[in-house]
Amino acid sequence: MSELAQWTTFLLIGAGTFAIRLSFIEFYGALRLPPLLRRALVYVPASVLAALVLPAVVFQDAHSGLAWSNPQIPAAVVAGLVAWRTRSTLLTLSVGMAALWGLKHLGL
């Protein structure tokens, strides 16, 4: 593939991505979404957050595998429980980081 073709591809993909994102901003309120789709869209932020956070927690130092010897996993479980019970972002971050530092200090 030539350099011109690569740049053309990059520009077209960028313009397409921009158009898709702009459409949600531009047509907000003008289009009626079906109730089923509106209820489904409520879960998008949580699923995106989970997709971003989970790999960083599970894959420690680019090693794959789910091992309880990874201190990030128990710390994430503790933080998740605090978030579930208190719904406080600041408390969740504080307890999660304290748990992670405590587990690392213990050598786990």
User: Whole-model pTM?
Assistant: 0.60
Q: Regarding predicted confidence, which is higher, 67 or 38?
A: 38
Looking at residue 53, its pLDDT comes to 86
The per-residue pLDDT for range 32-46, each reduced to its tens digit, is 878 998 899 899 998
Beta-carbon count within 10 A of 71 CB = 19
Distance between CA 82 and CA 58 in Å, rounded?
19
Distance between CA 57 and CA 66 in Å, rounded?
10
> Percent of the chain at pLDDT above 70?
93
Average pLDDT over residues 87-98: 95
Distance between CA 50 and CA 67 in Å, rounded?
19
